[in-house]
Amino acid sequence: MDHTDIDVPDVAKMIDHSLLRPELTTRDVLEGCALAARYNVASVCARPVDVARAAKELSGTGVLVGTVVGFPHGSSLTAVKVAEARAALADGAHELDMVLSIGRLRDGDDRAVADDIHGVVRAAREGGALVKVIFENAYLTTDEKIRACRLSDEAGADYVKTSTGFAPSGATVEDIRLMRANVPPRMKVKAAGGVRTLDLLLEMVEAGAARFGATATAKILDDLAARRATAS
């Protein structure tokens, strides 16, 4: 995709500005929320402990607040993930990025994986929130990724997502194509982990990604603005 085909506001609304690093201070979180509001991105993806604060900071800006569930390993009991989801919704989250049960998927225990996702989806629907299912593709085979797509669809999730950003590798163009080909049109694909340049983001849009987890938000959007200005 050529940068002249897409505007800065369009790309901004594809980005979930990530505020998930464990070392972030309250000041870092507030600065991240201010950046998200300044660029008018789709959302911030905040740590659960920061959701209420982020919701307060971003109230009235048009930037949503998301958070993570079962992060980063997906190994929590379903009941714990459901409790996390409900607490996040009560604090003001509108989007939930949950990590599926990676080990159970690799075991071939599809029923356990689907039930786990569905539990979070059901809780999310109570609060009108979206659910994005994180696969953590660095640990999965092609067959496991395809099964994860099918199970996420069956459980009623809204997005499938490549990675947490905390595994040995993150999003790849090949995985975006694979995931887009194996979920129905109603579902969207989110790329996360290593999406730090405008060129990679645009390549992934072409491959089928609709949303991106990013920490390099300002760099990406400033680069696009500069290119648009040069081309005009």
Full residue range of the structural domain in which residue 185 is found: 3-231
Do you find a cis peptide bond into 22, omega within 30 degrees of 0? no
Identify the CA nearest to 22 among candidates 47, 51, 53: 47
3-state secondary structure of 96: strand
Residue of 158, 175, 190, 223 with catalytic role:
190
Q: Residue 190 catalytic?
A: yes
Selected catalytic residue, list 161, 175, 188, 223: 161
Alpha carbons 133 and 180: distance in angstroms, whole number: 14
Residues 142, 178: contact at Cβ < 8 Å?
yes
Beta carbons within 8 Å of 91's beta carbon, 6+ residues apart: 48, 51, 52, 55
What pLDDT tens digit does each residue of the chain (232 aa) get?
555 578 999 999 999 999 999 999 999 999 999 999 999 999 999 999 999 999 999 999 999 999 999 999 999 999 999 999 999 999 999 999 999 999 999 999 999 999 999 999 999 999 999 999 999 999 999 999 999 999 999 999 999 999 999 999 999 999 999 999 999 999 999 999 999 999 999 999 999 999 999 999 999 999 999 999 998 7
Other C-beta atoms closer than 10 Å to the C-beta of 5 total 9
Q: Of the listed 97, 116, 158, 223, which one is catalytic?
A: 97
Distance CA 161, CA 138 (A): 12
pTM: 0.96
User: Are 228 and 197 contacting, i.e. CB atoms less than 8 angstroms apart?
Assistant: no
Annotation marks residue 145 as catalytic: no
Instruction: Count structural domains, the chain.
Output: 1
Helix, strand, coil % over all residues of the chain, rounded to 5: 50, 15, 30
CATH assignment at residue 114: 3.20.20.70
- The answer to whether residue 16 is catalytic is no
